[in-house]
Amino acid sequence: MGKYRGSYRLRIYEKPDFSGHMMEFMDDCPCVSDRFHHRHVYSSNVMNGVWIFYEYPNYRGRQYFLRPGEYRRYRDWCATCAIVGSFRRVNEF
């Protein structure tokens, strides 16, 4: 098990293919709809670090691991729907 010491950067988008409303995050988010004002995240760009998306707020429900890369649609991170309730940085893996 190693600790990740780099920076974290994540962009989430309201629509597929990196379109619509976008927000960039560098820290954990316990409730996406409070910060992003959308319940749905249709695409994401993980620029730095490894993140976990959760189905529900407060880091509950199904988990999806996202390594650095482009996720044009929610299916790219193996989700069955576009609702992301919360997400956080992974610093142990």
* pLDDT category of residue 91 using cuts at 50, 70 and 90: confident
Classify domain 9-90 by CATH number: 2.60.20.10
d(CA 89, CA 50): 6
Tokens representing 78 are: 């193996």
* pLDDT category of residue 5 using cuts at 50, 70 and 90: low
d(CA 64, CA 53): 5
Q: Where are the domains of the chain?
A: 9-90
pLDDT in tens, 24-83: 999 999 999 999 988 899 999 999 999 999 999 999 999 999 999 999 999 999 999 999
Does position 3 have pLDDT exceeding 70, yes or no?
A: no
pTM of the predicted model as reported, rounded to 2 decimal places = 0.91
